[in-house]
Amino acid sequence: METPDTTTALGALVSEQGYRMTTPRRHVLDVLPASGAPLSVADIHERIRSRIRSRRVSLASVYRTVNLLLRLGVVRATDAVGGPQRFEIGGPFGGHHHHLICQQCGRIEDLDGCPLGDAAWQAMNRRVRRTRKFRVVDHDLRLLGACHECTKGRRARTTRR
Ligand SMILES: [Zn+2]
Ligand SMILES: [Zn+2]
């Protein structure tokens, strides 16, 4: 979904706000856009070790880096159902998307695009504005359920419609 250009642009966003592009910052910005799912600090650390093969970045420095990027608005925290907080690219580079959240194991995945199509979104906007005098500018939608891993074991017991 994202390209290395995203990492470059994110780096520029950090520099513009007066922060140097240190190794941990660069690695976190390498790992996050490519993930396809929000990641916990431990996930980010693990990916830096396994994908970038860098052992110079400690868990504590990933934690500090994520907190800095949160303050700068480059990263945002996503909703979670239990489990650790998870983070993804935020601001202009985050892109409009939603999350599939497993209520059993807490796994979160990105759902590309928006299940609320343009027509439905505009119709709802018009209706809310007319009936409630409320101007809607954005929405947040979580899709809750059970992931593939958690469903596999119980399929035998579940009746499908
Ligand atoms: Zn699950
Ligand atoms: Zn949407």
Q: DSSP readout, 6-39?
A: HHHHHHHHHHHTT----HHHHHHHHHTTTSSS-B
Considering every ligand atom shown, identify the ligand nearest to the alpha carbon of residue 147 and give its number: 1
Considering every ligand atom shown, identify the ligand nearest to the alpha carbon of residue 106 and give its number: 1
| Alpha helix positions (H), the chain | 4-16, 23-31, 41-50, 59-71, 118-132, 148-152
CA 58 – ligand 2 centroid, Å: 35
pTM: 0.78
Q: What is the pLDDT along the chain (161 residues), one digit of tens a residue?
A: 455 678 888 888 899 999 998 999 999 999 998 888 899 999 999 999 998 887 889 999 999 999 999 999 999 998 777 778 999 998 778 888 899 999 988 889 999 888 888 899 999 999 999 999 999 988 888 899 999 999 987 654 555 54
For residues 61 and 69, the answer to whether their CB atoms sit within 8 Å is no
